[in-house]
Amino acid sequence: MRKLICLLLSLMMLFGVSAMAETAAEDLFTPGTYTGEAQGIFSPITVQITVSANKILGVSINAKGETESLGGLAAEKMSEAILKAQTPNVDGLSGATVSSDAIREAAKSALLQAGADLDKLDANRKDTGAAGEKQEKEIETDVVVIGAGGAGMTAAIMLNQAGADFVIIEKMPYAGGNTTKATGGMNAAETHYQKEQGIEDSTALFAADTMKGGHALNDPELVAVMANQSADAIDWLDTIGAELPKISFSGGASVNRIHAPEDGSGVGAFLVERFSAKLDELGVGIMYDTTATELLTDDEGRICGVKAEGEEYLYTFRCKAVILATGGFGANEAMYTQYRPDLKGTVTTNAPGATGDGIVMAQALGADLVDIEQIQLHPTVEQTTSILITESVRGDGAILVNQSGVRFTNELLTRDAVSAAELEQEGQYAWIIFDQNLRDHLKAVEKYVKSGITVQADTVEGLAELLGIDPEVLAKTVNDWNGYVKDQRDPDFGRTTGMNADLTTAPYYAIKIAPGIHHTMGGVKIDTAAQVINTEGKPIPGLYAAGEVCGGVHGGNRLGGNAVADIVIFGRIAAQSVLDYIK
Ligand code: ADP
């Protein structure tokens, strides 16, 4: 991944023209250096702009508090863009909307201090009409991996280690896709970590749990492969420095099976960072800002190329095989409402690149689709920011209450069940309630507090008042719950997990949440060798797919921990199949 470490960006791109030397009939600015500030997602962002009488000479953006978002990358891109356009009204970075808006706002404030007329700057913008036609470029390679999320990066590492000739392209200016957002861990059975920790498990039980969780809609052969190869995948992750030794319980699993990083960080961000480091070490460069638009086949229907659009070039890759690792379509409202009109207007937790391109490109070659209407809602999404409140918050003891201040479900049922229960409440939302003790033990909560989505009070009654809930009712709900934790029995909804700690440590916290689109379970049909299957039941020669772009593994409901298993296991299988094919 392009490093986001450039958080203190001092991109003073001073042109070789001094303020003194410039002359203009009508001045745009009072020469000097000005600083504007606006609130980002986690911190204030400052933009320092140096101007001559009629030119923006330098832009320096400090987004150092935005470490956990893409704010750093937004700062880098937007400082260049403002210089080029000579106006603060430039495009932001998709996936970093709040940081991008803050950068624009801070830049405007700085320029207003310099006496600028912002409308005039827009009218005179300098970045239009200059781009010209993109040039065509042909590249010969054996394999094109499309998409640098978890599945694509796994495949790329495998291909490199086998000495294959390949390129990996990514349409965003950064890697990671939805994978970055995975918080829990990776399900795997019969692993050496489980054995070392005395956990008895079996691949058969893993497969059975996955089928049950998926309402038996899953393809049992794909599920069996995932379960059988899961321990090997954990071993492989060890070899590339991506160890997942911490094992815990996750909804729908019969035993402790979800494997996570030692330091408690989110599994997705951890893996993307480790995969990126490995690719760097191997000398594999990802072609960013390069969007695959079409798959090419020869007269016999075999894959022979990919068309893609980059910032400067229109590429034609001539290749023998393609691995589609383009992820799902949870960020494409037109596409998910095509299959599920009832989801119109639902917010999404998905990365902006999850637009279903791979599915559409494969369909154009006759690929079959499976379970395409199976879309998973995550029950705890803050609606104004789309921040997903990780399941661990409920797993560590939080409860859900409605606007009347009462619980309405076992909070740790499967995601589809909890989401459905929320949608039955007045206003179709709920409040997730937790305490300081939970905050102290769960790293993720800091992010929520910093981003301003939590409501906080020193007493439960005080919290209720801030939420517009009857204080007596909420106090009774929390008191009752604390009693259930003590007795380890929930007579109201039969909850049996996430009951290790009560809610008695002030201050108390609440976040307003509702369901959001989280994972698209359906996608292109693959066989157990990750070959894409067409509507006649035959493989499309040279076309392989792995990860969220595929359907079949998760059926009607994906268990937490199975997305990462899917990515790593089928990413590896796709690479191995391609290696066999191109031989
Ligand atoms: P998975 O979990 O299956 O690996 P991710 O969502 O993590 O899926 O990653 C998919 C990646 O593919 C994302 O980074 C996304 O931006 C990228 N992608 C999607 N469509 C295209 C495309 N047409 N060309 C290149 N990259 C794409």
pLDDT tens across 500-547, in order?
999 999 999 999 999 999 999 999 999 999 999 999 999 999 999 999
> What parts of the chain have a pLDDT lower than 70?
1-25, 67-69, 128-132
The predicted pLDDT at position 67 comes to 61
Q: In angstroms, rounded to a whole number, what is the distance separating the alpha carbons of residues 418 and 435?
A: 21
* Strand duo 523-524 + 303-309: pairing: unpaired
The predicted pLDDT at position 12 comes to 38
Please check whether residue 401 is in contact with residue 583, taking contact to mean a CB–CB distance below 8 angstroms: no
Helices 267-282 and 562-582, axial angle in degrees (round to 10) = 30
Give yes or no for residue 231 CB within 6 A of ligand 1. Answer: no
DSSP letters spanning 212-280: HHTTT-S-HHHHHHHHHTHHHHHHHHHHTT----EEE--TT-SSS-EEE-TT---HHHHHHHHHHHHHH
Q: In angstroms, rounded to a whole number, what is the distance separating the alpha carbons of residues 572 and 158?
A: 7
Which residues are the active-site residues?
A: 415
411: which 2 tokens? 């909070």
The predicted pLDDT at position 63 comes to 85
Exposure string for 15-51, b = 16+ CB within 10 A, e = fewer: eeeeeeeeeeeeebbebeebebbbbbbbbebbbbbbb
Among protein residues, the one with the nearest Cα to ligand 1's atom 14 is 177
Q: What is the 363 CA–ligand 1 centroid distance (Å)?
A: 17
The predicted pLDDT at position 8 comes to 39
The predicted pLDDT at position 9 comes to 42
Helices 203-213 and 220-228, axial angle in degrees (round to 10) = 140
Please check whether residue 570 is in contact with residue 151, taking contact to mean a CB–CB distance below 8 angstroms: yes
The predicted pLDDT at position 25 comes to 53
Among protein residues, the one with the nearest Cα to ligand 1's atom 19 is 326
Q: In angstroms, rounded to a whole number, what is the distance separating the alpha carbons of residues 81 and 179?
A: 28
* Strand duo 166-169 + 286-287: pairing: parallel
Give yes or no for residue 177 CB within 6 A of ligand 1. Answer: yes
Q: Residue 346 CA to chain centroid, in angstroms?
A: 17
Give yes or no for residue 186 CB within 6 A of ligand 1. Answer: no
DSSP reduced 3-state for 164: coil
pTM of the model: 0.83
The predicted pLDDT at position 129 comes to 55
Q: Best mutation site among 171, 287, 548 for ligand 1, i.e. most ligand atoms within 8 A of its Cβ?
A: 171
Burial of 377 (0-12, 13-18, 19+ CB in 10 A): buried
Q: What is the 535 CA–ligand 1 centroid distance (Å)?
A: 24
The predicted pLDDT at position 470 comes to 98
Please check whether residue 524 is in contact with residue 545, taking contact to mean a CB–CB distance below 8 angstroms: yes
Atom of ligand 1 nearest to the CA of 361: 23
Please check whether residue 153 is in contact with residue 275, taking contact to mean a CB–CB distance below 8 angstroms: yes
Q: Residue 198 CA to chain centroid, in angstroms?
A: 33
Among protein residues, the one with the nearest Cα to ligand 1's atom 27 is 147
Give yes or no for residue 95 CB within 6 A of ligand 1. Answer: no
Give yes or no for residue 548 CB within 6 A of ligand 1. Answer: yes
DSSP reduced 3-state for 572: helix
CB within 8 Å of 346: residues ≥ 6 apart = 377, 515, 516, 517
Among protein residues, the one with the nearest Cα to ligand 1's atom 9 is 149
Give yes or no for residue 327 CB within 6 A of ligand 1. Answer: yes
